[in-house]
C-alpha cells in the first residue's frame, strides 16, 4: 500500500472521528505536560490553552468546510451527469423515429430497457448492492454495443438518400453521445 492510498480504506465518518479524537488527545496531553512543568499561574495557562484550542478548532472548521465543499461539488456533478444522460437518451429515442422498420422498433426497445436499467442501477446504488450493479453495468455495455451495431448497420437505399443519410448521421451522433456518457 503506497502512502497516497494510506487513508483510502477508512470511511469518511471514521476519519472524522479519528481526527477529533487525535485533536482532543493532543490538547489533553499538552495541557497535562504544561501543568506538570510550569509554575502555578493558572490564568496564564488558561489563556494559552484557550488560544491553542481556538487555533485547533479554527483548523478543524477549515477542514470541515473543504470537506463539505468537495462533497457538494461531487453531488452536483453527479446530478448534472444524470440529467445530461437523460437528455441524451431522450434525443436518441426521438431520433430513432427517423429509422426504418425493423431497426426503429429494436432500437426503441433497447433504449427503453437501457433507461429502465439505469433507473434500477441508481436504486441499487442507494442499497449498496454491488453484484447486481456490476451485472447491470455489463448489460448496459452490451446494449450500447448493440445500439452501435444497429446504428452502423442502418443502410441508405436509393429513395430519398440525402434525407436518410442525414437522419442516420443524427441518430449515430445521439447514440455516440449516449455511449460516451
- Identify the pLDDT of residue 151: 73
Q: Which of 81, 63, 83 is nearest to 71 (CA)?
A: 63
Q: Does 99 have pLDDT greater than 70?
A: yes
Q: What is the mean pLDDT of residues 130-137?
A: 87
Task: List Cα–Cα distances, 129 to 67, 122, 142, in angstroms.
Answer: 26, 10, 20
- Identify the pLDDT of residue 156: 46
The rounded percent of the chain whose pLDDT value lies above 70 is 77
Q: Which residue has the cell 453521445?
A: 177
Three-state DSSP string of 7-56? CCCCCHHHHHHHHHHHHHHHHHHHHHHHHHCCCCCHHHHHHHHHHHHHHH
Question: pLDDT class for 160, splitting at 50, 70, 90?
Answer: very low
- Identify the pLDDT of residue 104: 81
Q: Which residue has the cell 473543504?
A: 66
Q: pLDDT tens digit string along 4-13?
A: 677 778 788 8
Pull the grid cell for residue 131. 453484484
Question: pLDDT class for 145, splitting at 50, 70, 90?
Answer: confident
Pull the grid cell for residue 168. 442516420
Question: pLDDT class for 36, splitting at 50, 70, 90?
Answer: confident
- Identify the pLDDT of residue 82: 85
Pull the grid cell for residue 74. 461531487
- Identify the pLDDT of residue 161: 46
Distance in angstroms (rounded) separating the CA atoms of residues 91 and 178: 9
Q: What is the mean pLDDT of the chain?
A: 79
Q: What is the mean pLDDT of residues 114-131?
A: 86
Question: pLDDT class for 107, splitting at 50, 70, 90?
Answer: confident
- Identify the pLDDT of residue 158: 43
- One DSSP character per residue, 111-146 reads HHHHHHHHHHHHHHHHHT-HHHHHHHHHHHHHHHHH
Q: What is the mean pLDDT of residues 4-26?
A: 83
Torsion of CA 168, 174, 180, 181, to 10 degrees: -160
Amino acid at each position: 500500500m503506497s502512502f497516497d492510498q494510506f487513508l483510502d480504506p477508512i470511511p469518511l465518518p471514521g476519519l472524522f472521528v479519528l481526527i477529533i479524537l487525535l485533536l482532543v488527545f493532543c490538547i489533553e496531553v499538552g495541557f497535562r505536560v504544561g501543568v506538570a512543568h510550569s509554575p502555578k499561574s493558572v490564568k496564564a495557562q488558561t489563556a494559552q490553552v484557550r488560544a491553542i484550542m481556538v487555533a485547533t478548532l479554527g483548523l478543524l472548521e477549515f477542514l470541515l468546510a473543504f470537506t463539505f465543499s468537495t462533497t457538494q461539488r461531487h453531488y452536483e456533478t453527479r446530478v448534472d451527469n444524470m440529467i445530461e444522460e437523460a437528455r441524451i437518451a431522450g434525443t436518441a429515442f426521438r431520433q430513432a423515429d427517423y429509422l426504418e422498420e425493423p431497426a426503429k422498433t429494436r432500437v426503441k426497445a433497447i433504449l427503453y430497457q437501457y433507461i429502465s436499467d439505469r433507473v434500477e442501477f441508481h436504486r441499487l446504488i442507494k442499497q449498496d448492492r454491488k453484484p447486481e450493479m456490476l451485472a447491470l453495468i455489463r448489460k448496459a455495455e452490451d446494449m450500447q454495443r448493440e445500439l452501435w451495431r444497429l446504428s452502423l448497420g442502418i443502410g441508405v437505399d436509393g429513395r430519398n438518400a440525402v434525407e436518410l443519410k442525414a437522419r442516420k448521421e443524427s441518430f449515430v451522433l445521439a447514440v455516440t453521445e449516449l455511449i460516451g456518457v
